[in-house]
Amino acid sequence: MTTALLVENLSVAYGRVEALRGISLRVEAGETVSLLGNNGAGKSTTVAAISGIARASGGRVSAFGEDITNAKPWDLVHRGIIHVPEGRRIFPRLTVQENLQIGGHAVKDNKLIASRIAEVYDLLPRLAERSNQQGGTLSGGEQQMLAIGRGMIAGPKLLMLDEPSMGLAPLMVAQVMELVRSISAQGTSVLLIEQNARSALKVASRGYVLDSGLIA
Ligand code: ATP
């Protein structure tokens, strides 16, 4: 089995703050793995470093057998390594459909983008019903679904979701986790960042606990 993501001794410092102090973790192809931890543990920093947003000061990151340490975010998107950031960050003034289309900016084939959007609508009928509605007018849960749906348009091989359940009511959390399960069933490898260990471990096969920049 190939390894989708291999993080070895990764360190990240923001000035004097050592946010990650040599962490190692692994996601096998097709696996869903959860990264758990309290506020400030370094979860977002981990995904930021993997996706080229934060700079690794030490260690190594590889994906599907290739070294991607400190690769550029757009290069990673082309390799199918997709990061859905914390806090949804959809485009509030654009419609649902337009938000999804933006997820396909690295995909040159318009037919492929259209068929992936159709797949997302099949999976998420609430978005289909609201395709012409402005993103900012969706409920929090719908916005989270849209953010994940947008990530799916890029055709992810490895999808990294940063706290998708944050601020959502329990029923909505369950629906987000159901979506993660469906994405995983399609063969996508998933790194699921969560504070909500109970729901994350229902969909993940394994989990790592991060505490003050170290795997506990
Ligand atoms: P949360 O669940 O609250 O989002 P987290 O586990 O994702 O927390 P990080 O956001 O990775 O934690 O932060 C880890 C540490 O790095 C914290 O101490 C934080 O203050 C610090 N940090 C994060 N980003 C920066 C930055 N841009 N500049 C300085 N320090 C930062």
Give the ligand 1 atom nearest the CA of 86. 4
Q: Is the CB of 39 under 6 A from ligand 1?
A: yes
Q: What's the CA-to-centroid distance between 182 and ligand 1, angstroms?
A: 30
Ligand 1 pocket residue status of 74, Cβ below 6 Å: no
Ordered per-residue pLDDT tens for the chain, 216 residues: 689 999 999 999 999 999 999 999 999 999 999 999 999 999 999 999 999 999 999 999 999 999 999 999 999 999 999 999 887 789 999 999 999 999 998 888 999 999 999 999 999 999 999 999 999 999 998 999 999 999 999 999 999 999 999 888 888 899 899 999 999 999 999 999 999 999 899 999 999 999 999 999
**Hey, is 65 helix, strand or coil?**
coil
Ligand 1 center to residue 23 CA distance, Å?
A: 15
Q: Which residue has the tokens 């994940």?
A: 148
